[in-house]
């Protein structure tokens, strides 16, 4: 961290005044932070006229000049945003990434064909995942991503983002979201404004599945629902009910799995809820 911080300072000192203002912070203008945790959603204000690129994506500013990027669970330090100014100057902004601990979580008692699926089921899972991935690619002009997010249901966090999970003794992919324990049928509220991009019941692993596009590549997915109250294309406002908690798909009890992504990058909803900048 210290080395990255010094590098950033050295870079800032070498820059002309106009560029230094990018990292100036006041109540209306937020530059990119110097350091964030793995799994963070990062929102920053671009200087007027500047263009930004990160992780293969050209960042499109909102009318207010905001851009957003996601930092993955396994992101290494530093991550670099490239800024281009109207006069052709290019500036690289390094963001130091602090590592997190990823505890092992053992989940036992799920049906074995959800852990080691036979070929026919594996093919079905692949088809359903492709629908989820396609919905995640949505890149609309919505600005819900910049709101202060609210909890979709109230409850105990029963599974954290990023946990290394072992199902019935078999290591599987890290946990892609956070689990909130809640009673079957508890209404699920949209954590921020958006548009529904997927609403389907009966997926093999994820059960009743709803996805909301919050704009600029940021999406929420809600899994294991017992009821779905929305359809693709519905415009959703923060707090609207989109469905109800259940335990459909691969689940051992009623809970809401809430995942968030920036395009393909999975981010931690808990960090989005806690975000203060």
Write down the least CB distance from residue 251 to Zn ion, Å.
8
Write down the least CB distance from residue 121 to Zn ion, Å.
19
Instruction: Closer to Zn ion by CB, 61 or 177: give it.
Output: 177
- Establish if 268 lies at the interface with Zn ion (CB under 5 A): no
Cis preceding linkage at 185, omega within 30? no
Nearest to 237 by CA among 198, 188, 190: 190
Distance CA 56, CA 67 (A): 14
Instruction: Closer to Zn ion by CB, 57 or 257: give it.
Output: 257
Considering only 81-89, 172-180, 189-197, 232-240, which stretch makes contact with Zn ion by CB under 5 A? 172-180
- Establish if 257 lies at the interface with Zn ion (CB under 5 A): yes
Nearest to 217 by CA among 110, 82, 87, 58: 58
Instruction: Closer to Zn ion by CB, 216 or 250: give it.
Output: 250
Distance CA 228, CA 200 (A): 8
Residue carrying the six token digits 């990062």? 42
Residues that bind Zn ion (rule: CB under 5 A) add up to a total of: 2
Binding residue for Zn ion, selected from 45, 68, 79, 179, defined by CB under 5 A: 179
How many Cα neighbours within 13 Å face the side chain of 7? 15
Instruction: Closer to Zn ion by CB, 180 or 236: give it.
Output: 180
140 by DSSP, 3-state: which? coil
What is the bridge-based pairing of β-strands 227-228 and 235-236? Answer: unpaired
Task: Give the residue closest to Zn ion by C-beta.
Answer: 257
DSSP-derived secondary structure letter, 146: G
Instruction: Closer to Zn ion by CB, 200 or 257: give it.
Output: 257
Instruction: Closer to Zn ion by CB, 29 or 201: give it.
Output: 201
Distance CA 183, CA 188 (A): 11
Q: Please, which of residues 42-101 interact with Zn ion by CB under 5 A?
A: none
Write down the least CB distance from residue 112 to Zn ion, Å.
19
24 by DSSP, 3-state: which? coil
Considering only 16-24, 127-135, 174-182, 200-208, which stretch makes contact with Zn ion by CB under 5 A? 174-182
Write down the least CB distance from residue 256 to Zn ion, Å.
8
- Please, are residues 81 and 69 in contact by the beta-carbon 8 Å criterion? yes
* CB atoms near residue 87 (< 10 Å): 7
Considering only 91-99, 144-152, 180-188, 250-258, which stretch makes contact with Zn ion by CB under 5 A? 250-258
Write down the least CB distance from residue 159 to Zn ion, Å.
5
Residue ranges binding Zn ion (CB under 5 A)? 179, 257
């Amino acid at each position: 961290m210290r080395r990255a911080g010094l590098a950033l300072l050295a870079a800032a000192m070498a820059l002309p005044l106009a560029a230094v203002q990018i990292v100036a912070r006041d109540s209306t203008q937020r530059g990119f932070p110097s350091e964030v945790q793995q799994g963070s959603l990062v929102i920053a204000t671009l200087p007027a006229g500047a263009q930004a690129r990160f992780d293969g994506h050209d960042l499109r500013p909102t009318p207010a000049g905001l851009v957003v990027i996601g930092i993955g669970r396994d992101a290494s330090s530093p991550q670099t945003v490239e800024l281009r100014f109207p006069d052709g100057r290019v500036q690289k902004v390094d963001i130091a990434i602090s590592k997190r601990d990823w505890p092992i979580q053992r989940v036992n008692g799920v049906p074995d064909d959800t852990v080691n699926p036979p070929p026919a089921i594996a093919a079905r899972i692949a088809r359903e995942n492709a629908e989820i991935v396609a919905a995640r690619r949505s890149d609309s002009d919505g600005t819900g991503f910049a709101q202060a997010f609210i909890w979709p249901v109230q409850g105990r966090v029963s599974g954290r983002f990023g946990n290394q999970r072992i199902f019935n003794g078999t290591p599987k992919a890290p946990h892609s979201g956070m689990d909130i324990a809640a009673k079957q049928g508890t209404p699920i509220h949209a954590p921020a404004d958006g548009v529904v991009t997927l609403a389907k019941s009966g997926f093999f692993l994820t059960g009743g599945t709803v996805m909301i596009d919050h704009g600029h590549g940021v999406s929420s997915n809600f899994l294991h629902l017992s009821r779905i109250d929305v359809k693709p294309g519905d415009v959703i406002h923060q707090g609207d009910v989109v469905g109800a908690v259940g335990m459909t798909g691969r689940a051992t009890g009623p809970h809401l799995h809430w995942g968030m992504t920036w395009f393909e990058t999975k981010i931690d909803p808990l960090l989005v809820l806690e975000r203060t900048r």
